[in-house]
Each structure stands twice: as C-alpha cells, then as structure tokens.
C-alpha cells in the first residue's frame, strides 16, 4: 500500500501521523511525506517587499519545511518499509491531489486543519477539496480524536466505525479492511442507519409496513455477512449495530461519540434514489462535524 502523508506541523497534522502509526498496514507499505509551500499572499503593498527580503523569507520557509519533513518521516520510519520526503510549491489541494495521482497512491492522510498565518496549508476548504478530487481514499485526522487514549497497558484498541448501506462505497470500506492485517489492537463496529421520513408522522406508517420489516431483515443479514467477511479475513473484534433516524449523518456522529470511535470509515458515495443514506452531503458533514478522524474510502483510479 502506498500512502501520501501531508504534513505542516499543525496538531491535526501530527494526529494524522499518530494514526498512521496505529493503523495496521501491510508490511510492504510505503509512505511519501509531503509538505506544500504555498505562495505568499501579496497585499497592495507587496511591491514594496524587497527582493532580498523575499529571498530570505523563502530560504527560511524551505529550511523549516525540510526540517519538518525529516522530523515527520522519522516518526514513521520504524513502521513502514519505506519512507521518503517530498517538498513541493503551489496550492495545497491541487499539489497533494496531483501527487496522489502521480504516485498511484492508495491513501492520502492529512490533518483536518493546518497551521495559521503564512505557514498553514490545510484549511477546511482544502481538506474538502482533496477528499472530493483525490484519486484514492483520504484519511482526515483530528487532534481531538480519541486515538491518543491510553490504558495502563499502553494504547487502548483502535476503534473503527464503518458505515454500511449496501452501496459500492460501503463495500469498498469492507474490502479495504480485509486487506489490512488487523489484530486484537483494533475493534471494528459495522453500522447501518435506516432513514426515517418523520413528516406528518409518516415514520409510524413506514415502520408498520411489510416493506420496512423486510428492509430491516435484509439490513441485518447484510451486516452479518459483512462481519463474517471481516472475520474470515482475520479481523477478530467485530460487532454490528442497526439504528434508525430521520437524520442519518447526525446518527452516525452520535454513535461514533457514544462508542468513542477513533475513525469513522465511510464510502465517498452511497446508494442511489430514496434508499441511499451516504450521499456526498453526508460525507461532507462527517468531515466537517465529526470529533473523530474520518476515512473516506474510494476505489483507486487505475493509471494507464
């Protein structure tokens, strides 16, 4: 597996690195640690900034960026088969997306937000752009994630909440987990949320119908089948949960909070028509509002 780790020295960027160290990846996995130097904003007085001052500022920024790359790559060197650094200049979202494409990456890992002032490169808008346009899966990390929780014996098990709706995106999430050497240090919960129509108490009629009961039965069967698939791949700690709500995204966030999930894993798109619950809008809400880290799963685009 090839991973792009975007770093900028911010707390949430460091949280992404900490998660990469906790997630069990295949032994032959490699990481490209990248820092993007964005162009300095020029105000109306920019023409008065002398060439020497600008050159000195650029040299300092590059020196700091290289030092950061070495520091962050050192944190990952003991975990991965290969770690290398890359310093690029330009717009963060565009450069990271292009790098993921050129490297044929399987995953981009980054913080939800970056540094302030001139040194920042990962704004909320940039992280959403990367999630939307990256040719592969994206892990958006938060410092507030329970990933740093410890017990007297060390780290608590990493908890991954997987949203399941029977869509191709949800199936990709399950497939991704089967490719990871998950062990007793990881707990997985599979969650399906039935969408209720509550206007004019339509949910009462909805839940009384034979179609609803059949959908519930099929959902439980699908959850059990996904759990068996993970268990067959060697995942030891798997549980399932079926909920119903008029606001699916909020229910996912509530379950993640109650369960103290470290990562919420979701497909980039859900099912079509009325039955779908994991739309792009839901994915965006998870990225924006989750207190946990969010792993948006997307099938990697094949390179020619």
CB 111 within 8 A of CB 12: yes
What is the C-alpha R_g of the chain?
21
Question: What contacts 181, CB < 8 A, 6 or more positions away?
Answer: 24, 25, 26, 27, 234
Structure confidence at residue 58 (pLDDT): 73
Distance CA 271, CA 192 (A): 13
Helix and strand numbers (H, E) in the chain are 9, 12
Distance CA 95, CA 32 (A): 13
Structure confidence at residue 15 (pLDDT): 93
Instruction: For 55-131, list the strands marked E by DSSP.
Output: 82-89, 107-111
Distance CA 225, CA 231 (A): 10
Structure confidence at residue 212 (pLDDT): 67
CB 100 within 8 A of CB 137: no
SS3 call for 120: coil
pTM, 2 dp: 0.83
Please state at what angle helix 51-77 crosses helix 11-22, rounded to 10 degrees: 20
What average pLDDT values come out for the chain (304 residues) when binned by 10 residues? 94 93 96 86 54 65 91 94 94 93 96 57 67 92 62 71 85 94 92 71 59 82 94 93 88 95 86 42 82 90 59
Ordered domains of the chain (ranges, CATH): 2-141 (3.40.50.620), 150-297 (3.40.50.620)
């Amino acid at each position: 597996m090839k991973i792009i780790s975007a770093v900028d020295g911010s707390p949430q960027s460091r949280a992404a690195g900490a998660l990469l160290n906790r997630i069990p990846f295949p032994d032959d996995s490699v990481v490209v640690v990248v820092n993007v130097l964005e162009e300095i904003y020029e105000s109306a007085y920019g023409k008065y900034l002398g060439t020497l001052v600008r050159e000195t500022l650029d040299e300092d920024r590059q020196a700091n960026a290289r030092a950061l790359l070495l520091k962050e790559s050192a944190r990952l060197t003991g975990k991965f088969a290969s770690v290398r650094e890359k310093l690029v200049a330009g717009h963060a979202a565009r450069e990271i997306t292009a790098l993921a494409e050129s490297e044929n990456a399987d995953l981009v890992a980054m913080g939800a937000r970056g540094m302030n002032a001139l040194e920042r490169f990962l704004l909320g808008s940039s992280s959403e752009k990367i999630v939307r346009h990256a040719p592969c899966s994206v892990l958006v990390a938060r410092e507030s994630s329970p990933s740093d929780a410890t017990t007297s014996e060390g780290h608590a098990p990493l908890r991954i909440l997987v949203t399941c709706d029977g869509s191709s995106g949800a199936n990709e999430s399950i497939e991704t987990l089967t490719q990871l050497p998950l062990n007793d240090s990881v707990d997985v919960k599979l969650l399906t949320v039935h969408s209720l129509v509550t206007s004019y108490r339509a949910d009462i009629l909805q839940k009384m119908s034979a179609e609803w009961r059949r959908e519930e039965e099929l959902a439980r069967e699908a959850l059990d089948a996904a759990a068996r698939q993970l268990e067959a791949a060697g995942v030891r700690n798997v549980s399932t949960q079926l909920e119903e709500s008029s606001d699916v995204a909020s229910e996912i966030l509530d379950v993640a909070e109650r369960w103290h999930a470290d990562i919420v894993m979701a497909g980039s798109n859900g099912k079509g028509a009325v039955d779908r619950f994991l739309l792009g809008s839901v994915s965006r809400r998870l990225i924006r509002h989750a207190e946990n880290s969010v792993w948006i799963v997307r099938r990697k685009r094949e390179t020619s």
